[in-house]
Amino acid sequence: MYSEKVIDHFSNPRNVGKIENPDGYGKVGNAACGDVMEIFLKIEEDKIKDVKFRTFGCAAAIATSSMSTEMILNKPVEEALKLTNKAVAEALDGLPAKKMHCSVLAEEGIQSAIEDYMSKKDKS
């Protein structure tokens, strides 16, 4: 039921881990199932220089987290904010309909980490 790309990113997820003193941090939970994603961003001049994540969730949640970190690395934050769960699912050659809700975790995690970065920036 999963594409080869989903299986690849689930078996060998990219950018797993954490970053000490991140410029942006987000932690989101999926209301539908209780799975959780944490995301850490290193940002320089509004560009994402490093990204790490930890997802406690199902195969689709881990694969979409992994793919989404690759899609935002070295991108301006404005662009990363616009990444949709649909675009991530497409980059993985699709997800089963029942697993689409899992991809929302990565979209919301990235948005929440960027919002954290922006609110810190406003204060400084």
Which residues sit at the interface with ligand FES, rule CB under 6 A?
A: 30, 33, 35, 57-58, 60-61, 102, 105
Nearer to ligand FES, 51 or 60 (CB): 60
Active site residue 33: yes
Q: Which two tokens stand for residue 100?
A: 């689409």
Residue 104 Cβ vs ligand FES, minimum distance, rounded to whole Å: 8
Helix then strand count (H, E) for the chain reads: 5, 3
- 100-123 and 59-72 helices cross at what angle (nearest 10)? 40
Residue type, 100: M
Nearest CB to ligand FES, comparing residues 22 and 109: 109
Distance CA 23, CA 34 (A): 26
Q: Is 58 annotated in the active site?
A: no
Which CB atom, from 24 or from 109, has the smaller least distance to ligand FES? 109
Smallest gap from Cβ 40 to ligand FES, in A, equals 19
**Catalytic one of 33, 74, 96, 120:** 33
In contact, 34 and 40? CB cutoff 8 Å: no
Residues classed as catalytic: 33, 102
